[in-house]
Structure 1
Amino acid sequence: MEKFFKILAILVVVLILGFFSYNYVMTAGARDLEKEKSEFFISAVDVFGEFSTNSEMATAKYINKAVEISGKVTSVNNNVITLDEKVSCQLQVLEKVALNSQVKIKGRVTGYDDLLEELKLDQCLIVK
């Protein structure tokens, strides 16, 4: 009987550790870009130039980093804003933005699409 309780206690401890480990891993990826400090401040034209010149070097420099990119709004589609036809920003919260207006977007660089020649950002918000 004592052996049963030892095994049960070990099983309970393992389950509790597994539960907390799972929760830690699943929620650790969430970032609050509104509070996070931007690592780069650049225009949409300049950042696109870096990616079109040497996408591997630019990817290593910008990927998964918080950046502020300024540019002209050339497209608004659902919660995605395109700056200067080359930088696609997926907004966290949809805000009213006029076409051809100048905006500054803060977001996380997720990658460069060679086929569409477009830089992609997510978790974006409009900097006021």
Structure 2
Amino acid sequence: MKKILVFITVLILVILMGSYFYLYQDHRDVSATTAVNTFNSNQLLDVFQDSVIENDKEILDQVILITGVATSASEYSVILDHKIFIEFDQKNYNASNYVINKNQTYTIKGRCLGYDDLLEEVRIDQAILEK
């Protein structure tokens, strides 16, 4: 009886630990990930505004490089060409001391979240500034 109780306890612990590590995985490190594609802001917007849904699916949740002119900037985000909203990864942002100036061209690597129909902009997060 004791062997069965010990076996069940160990089995439950293994299942709980496996579930925990599966559910709470580390986030993707964008700085170490290779970008799947490179776009300027107009090209990226065109991909989402065309009627071909397969094009959208190829870059959703993928790391991409985007180049554009900064039209608005705040502490942890920037808007490129009034069309692309980019939120920087706060850990890398604080360590790198980014300085984003308006009307300058930047290349930024980040994870593409998709197109926001309400605000009519493409959203990117976990971004880092490429030098």
TM-score (norm 1): 0.88
CA RMSD in angstroms, aligned pairs only: 1.7
- Aligned match of 2:7: 9
d(CA) in 2 for partners of 1:57, 1:118:
19
Of 104-113 and 56-65, deviating more is 56-65
Matched, 1:109 2:107: no
Of 80-89 and 90-99, deviating more is 90-99
Whichever residue aligns with residue 45 of structure 1, its letter is N
Structure 2 residue matching 1:96: 3-state secondary structure: coil
For structure 2, which runs of at least 5 residues remain unmatched after alignment?
none
What is the CA-CA distance between 1:55 and the residue it aligns to? 6.7
Of 99-108 and 19-28, deviating more is 19-28
Of 19-28 and 109-118, deviating more is 19-28
d(CA) in 2 for partners of 1:9, 1:57:
49
d(CA) in 2 for partners of 1:55, 1:96:
37
For structure 1, which runs of at least 5 residues remain unmatched after alignment?
none
8 A Cα contact 1:108 1:124, kept in partner: yes
Structure 1 residue matching 2:29: 3-state secondary structure: coil
- Percent sequence identity over matched residues? 26
What is the CA-CA distance between 1:5 and the residue it aligns to? 4.0
What is the CA-CA distance between 1:10 and the residue it aligns to? 1.7
d(CA) in 1 for partners of 2:52, 2:61:
14
Distance 1:55 1:121, change over 3 A: farther
Structure 2 residue matching 1:111: 3-state secondary structure: strand
Structure 2 residue matching 1:31: 3-state secondary structure: coil
Aligned pairs for 1:15-94 within 5 A: 15-28=13-26, 30-54=27-51, 56-92=53-89, 93=93
TM-score (norm 2): 0.86
What is the CA-CA distance between 1:109 and the residue it aligns to? 0.5
8 A Cα contact 1:70 1:102, kept in partner: yes
Q: Which is greater in Rg?
A: 1
8 A Cα contact 1:55 1:112, kept in partner: no
